[in-house]
Amino acid sequence: MPENTKDNDTRPTRSTEPDLDFRTRLTASRDVSEYKRANRSLHIIAEGTAAATGDEFFRSLARCAAQALGARYAFVAETLTEMESRSLAFWDGSDFGDGFTYRFPGTPCQRVAAGHICA
């Protein structure tokens, strides 16, 4: 029978146990690949930042976030004003880049500052 690929989708499946009647057995399964990706990302970040403190923590967080998300670049920033932030760490794909300050208008960060998720 085909493998289940949709969340909360149920369909009859045949048991590999010879003494069970496949017509009376119903199983439920769901795709857990998103859960596994999120769990792997969390593990990468937690493991990569566990021993770091201070500025090194933010640098590790930026590098590990890029790795966990499969992104070339990542940065960690603090909000200075309602419309401006300053980077605490910037990973440029191979090393740490220089810090920078930026204003939100016209950037994805403007939506984040308004409470939306940026992905």
In Å, what is the CA distance from 99 to each residue of 51, 52, 96?
A: 22, 19, 9
pLDDT in tens, 15-27: 555 555 555 555 6
Instruction: Report CA torsion sign: 89, 93, 94, 100.
Output: negative
Q: How many CB atoms lie within 10 A of CB 101?
A: 10
Q: Is 93 inside a domain boundary?
A: yes
Q: Is 103 inside a domain boundary?
A: yes
Q: Which tokens hold the place of 114?
A: 């308004």
Q: Is 8 inside a domain boundary?
A: no
Q: Is 45 inside a domain boundary?
A: no
- The answer to whether residues 111 and 103 touch, using CB atoms and an 8 Å cutoff, is no
DSSP 8-state class, residue 22: G
Q: Could you tell me whether strands 9-12 and 74-81 are parallel, antiparallel, or unpaired per DSSP bridges?
A: unpaired
Q: Is 65 inside a domain boundary?
A: yes
Residue span of the structural domain in which 84 resides: 53-113
Percent with pLDDT over 90 in the chain: 45
Q: What is the total count of domains within the chain?
A: 1
Res 1 pLDDT > 50: no
DSSP, collapsed to helix, strand or coil, labels residue 64 as helix
Q: Is 105 inside a domain boundary?
A: yes
Q: Is 61 inside a domain boundary?
A: yes
pLDDT in tens, 75-117: 999 989 888 999 999 999 999 999 999 998 888 888 887 888 7
